[in-house]
Structure 1
């Protein structure tokens, strides 16, 4: 019997950067579930319409996507993986259209901002913002627009049969977006995790956060990211979202036990294998996890 394709919910439509990230993590033999918003991707997972969610969490230029941290906590679906995607932006148009015919450029606002150096050379072009890079490419194809170009990736050019007029127009050639892979607790499997995403609060007193961070340092646990967000309706209280990496799982387990003494509302959002950053442009292997390292063990610790 042929294995069932994983159903992967993404924000946006086919050929968006989210689908490209999904391809890099799972391979191209997937069923893409298109959603209009990040919240809808979680609802699709919650309602059983998807098996996984691929969600952008930060960009090397634009920074953290803060609302998505709130979704992580609200829905409590475990993070089971990550992928870094190089953001390469191309200018594309209907076949046969020449650059001299172009009057309008359309794309997502962030994509447009990442190409400001290119457009400084062509001040006569009118910028039109939209909610999705791939949707802009699709619109050019569907409406047969001969005076408009889109900024999108090569997947969009291929799927919507557009010609690439200019390649790599992004100002920063080392721009990456980090995506998280989430699934249900029943489906969560992690083989030899070496990275975790945590969330916790500390008391509002001098040195409270420093005590926690010093525990990471003392145990040789690398903290690769920290992000704070106010707790809704509670002035002067913050959730701290922390990503940590380790070489020895024993030291990680010991660290978790120790920091529980100095935190409250502690959550492990996910334990997974970190994306090795060497050769980020290479395709990631599909993870065929067999072990069930568990959230059950974590719950025992928290208790």
Structure 2
């Protein structure tokens, strides 16, 4: 049985991602923070972790880019989860009874328009996880509070769903990375995550990006992450996809003359993004 580290507890979107990616039976190891997740891999207590890296509404989780790099973790896969938010409370609690709503900061941001229109005077409290928010409401038997989370949270903690589809944009997805301490060869790999730094001279970044374009490598994401202690200096994280492995390897070799450092964080099979039109 695979032991998979996640940030959060049972019922969280991280658990959902882990169970969907690994279709066979797994043992989920719950962690309070993303740093704890990385520590478990680093100390060989687990072999694999699942970590959110970006959401289509809330954007990128910059601290997770830094953790992957600092712990020298390797990306071995990815999965996109369609995020659907529900308002849930203990049985018998009505919407008009609610004075406090708990959820993860990103989930709150994803549901900002709903909260502003439906609960303008309710106290919104950020919690470490959507599932932990539902568990808190259940365990404390709160009759004037609700949580925002997914359907599995409601099922696990016996909560009633009072409203569904709270997210501002119904095409709301979170991308989760599958992480390991060591790289794993994959004959089906057609995507890579790479990070690099460039010098402070005219066209330095453009030269790198143009090299990928010249070799017919599709750039699907670029993210700059500030380097701590070095003002105005950044590490660039990019995701690229290819049809020809030879072209990718050629491009990777060519950019070496335009970067001051280069690290391949992982080569893996591209995850499918199934668009939901709701």
| TM-score normalised by the chain length of structure 1 | 0.86
Q: Distance in 2 between matches of 1:207 and 1:172?
A: 36
Query: Does residue 150 in structure 1 map to residue 147 in structure 2?
Result: yes
| Aligned residue in 2 for 1:163 | 160
For residue 237 of structure 1, the aligned residue among 209, 233, 237 is 233
| CA distance 1:189–1:280, shift in 2 (3 Å) | farther
| Aligned residue in 2 for 1:40 | 36
Query: Does residue 140 in structure 1 map to residue 146 in structure 2?
Result: no
Query: Does residue 227 in structure 1 map to residue 223 in structure 2?
Result: yes
Query: Does residue 115 in structure 1 map to residue 111 in structure 2?
Result: yes
| CA distance 1:54–1:280, shift in 2 (3 Å) | farther
For each residue in 1:8-40, what CA deviation from the matched residue of structure 2 results, as whole angstroms up to 9, or x when unmatched?
111111111111111121126211111111111
For the 8 Å contact 1:84–1:280, the answer to whether it is kept is: no
Unaligned residue ranges in structure 1 (runs of 5+): 282-303
Q: Distance in 2 between matches of 1:35 and 1:176?
A: 22
| Aligned residue in 2 for 1:248 | 244
Partner SS, residue 260 of structure 1: helix
Q: Distance in 1 between matches of 2:185 and 2:27?
A: 20
| CA distance 1:261–1:109, shift in 2 (3 Å) | same
Shift of 1:280: 7.1
Shift of 1:128: 2.3
| Aligned residue in 2 for 1:213 | 209
| Aligned residue in 2 for 1:97 | 93
For each residue in 1:147-189, what CA deviation from the matched residue of structure 2 results, as whole angstroms up to 9, or x when unmatched?
1111010110111111111111112111111111101217x24
For the 8 Å contact 1:204–1:236, the answer to whether it is kept is: no
Partner SS, residue 261 of structure 1: helix
| CA distance 1:237–1:279, shift in 2 (3 Å) | closer
Query: Does residue 16 in structure 1 map to residue 12 in structure 2?
Result: yes
For residue 46 of structure 2, the aligned residue among 45, 50, 57 is 50
Q: Distance in 2 between matches of 1:267 and 1:203?
A: 16
For the 8 Å contact 2:171–2:275, the answer to whether it is kept is: no
| CA distance 1:127–1:238, shift in 2 (3 Å) | closer
For the 8 Å contact 1:85–1:280, the answer to whether it is kept is: no
| TM-score normalised by the chain length of structure 2 | 0.94
Q: Distance in 2 between matches of 1:109 and 1:224?
A: 26
For residue 200 of structure 2, the aligned residue among 204, 228, 233 is 204
For residue 26 of structure 2, the aligned residue among 20, 27, 30 is 30
**Aligned structure 1 segments of 4 or more residues deviating by more than 6 angstroms:** none
Shift of 1:232: 2.6
| Aligned residue in 1 for 2:69 | 73
Root-mean-square deviation (Å): 1.7
Unaligned residue ranges in structure 2 (runs of 5+): none
Shift of 1:126: 2.6
| Aligned residue in 2 for 1:273 | 269
Q: Distance in 2 between matches of 1:267 and 1:164?
A: 45
Question: Matched residue pairs, number?
Answer: 276
Partner SS, residue 161 of structure 1: coil
